Structure 1
C-alpha cells in the first residue's frame, strides 16, 4: 500500500511511482541461461530481477519486475538448489532446471522479512522440468501447484512418489522413468490424501 500525505500534492517522483508503467510490467520476460559457457553453481533472485528490469526499465519495485517473468530456462548448469521464491512467481508458466545437480527442492515454507510463506504457490506454472538431477524425494506440496500440467522428474534418485501425485489439480503428464521406484503410491495413502486436498486429476500419465 502506498500512502500519500493529505496536506498537499505529491512530488513528481511520487506521482511517477504511482503510474501503471511503474507498477506493472509491459513486456513479458524469458530468461534463458541454459548451458552457459561458465555453468552456474547457484541462482539468485536478484539476478532475475535485474534481467526483468532490462526490458521493463520503468518498473520501480522488485516485486513489479518479477511479475514480468513468464519462462525461465536454467538447464545444463551446476545448480544444487533452487531459490524457494521461484515457485511463488505469479506470472511464471515454464521452469526448466533439468541436467543440473539438484539434490533437493525447497522446503514447503520459507520466511521473507519474518513472514512465513508457502513455497509452492505459483498460480500459473504449467511446465516443470527437473530430469537428470540427483533428487531423492519430492515434497508433497509440489503437487498443490494449481496449474501444473507437465512434470518431468526422470533420471533422478527417487525411491518413492508422494501420494499427493494422484490429487494434483491439473497434472496430465508425469515422467518418472529411470528412478529407483518399486511401486506407485496406492491404497489408504491415496484415499487420505484425496480427502485432505479434495481434488482428483482426470488423468496422470507415467512414462516408462
Structure 2
C-alpha cells in the first residue's frame, strides 16, 4: 500500500465524502511535506516519514482537536526538528494535544502542560510560568546574619538562608508578587548601603517540576 492509497483508505474511514477526498489528501500531503513520498510503499518509509504519514491521516477530516501520542519518539535530531515544526503549523488551526513522557519535547513545542500522577491531574499550568520558581537568588556584600535578618523582615519572604560566596537564597510565599518583592528587596539593600551584585529568580525546567511533584505528591510551587 502506498502513502496515497493509505490516505484514501483513511479518508473513507473518517467518513470524508468521496468527491472531497482528492483535495483534502493533497492538502494533508502538503502540510506534512510528504510530496516526495506520496507514491512510495509504506513499508519503505523511514520512521520519520511514517510518523508524518500518521499525522497526515489524522488531519484529513480537518479535526478541531488533534491528539498525538509520542510524536517524536524514535526520531533522529533532524526528524525531531521537522516534527516540531509540523506540530507548530498544525497548532495554528487546531488544538493539538501531545501525549509524551519526553519532557524536553513538551518544553520545546507546548505552551501549556498537564501532568497526570496516579490517575489524577497533579499540574495544569502555562509552560512559561513554570520556568520561573519562587526562589530568589541574591548576591550582595552584606554580612550573612545581617542580610538574612533584613530579608526575613519582608512579609513576602517565607525563608532566607546564606549560601556560598555572598549568595543568599530566598523562598517567597506562593502568593507573593515576585516583581514587587524583588524591587522592595533591592531598595532595602540599597538603603543599607550594601552592594547588590546580582538578583534573579531560579530557573527551572520541566524535569525539575516533575521531580518536585513526585517528591511532594502534589502540585509544584
Same fold (TM over 0.5): no
Q: Which has the larger radius of gyration?
A: 2
Write 1 or 2 for the structure with the bigger share of helix: 2
TM-score, normalising length: structure 1: 0.27
Structure number with the bigger relative contact order (C-alpha 8 A, sep ≥ 6) is: 2
TM-score, normalising length: structure 2: 0.26
Write 1 or 2 for the structure with the bigger share of strand: 2
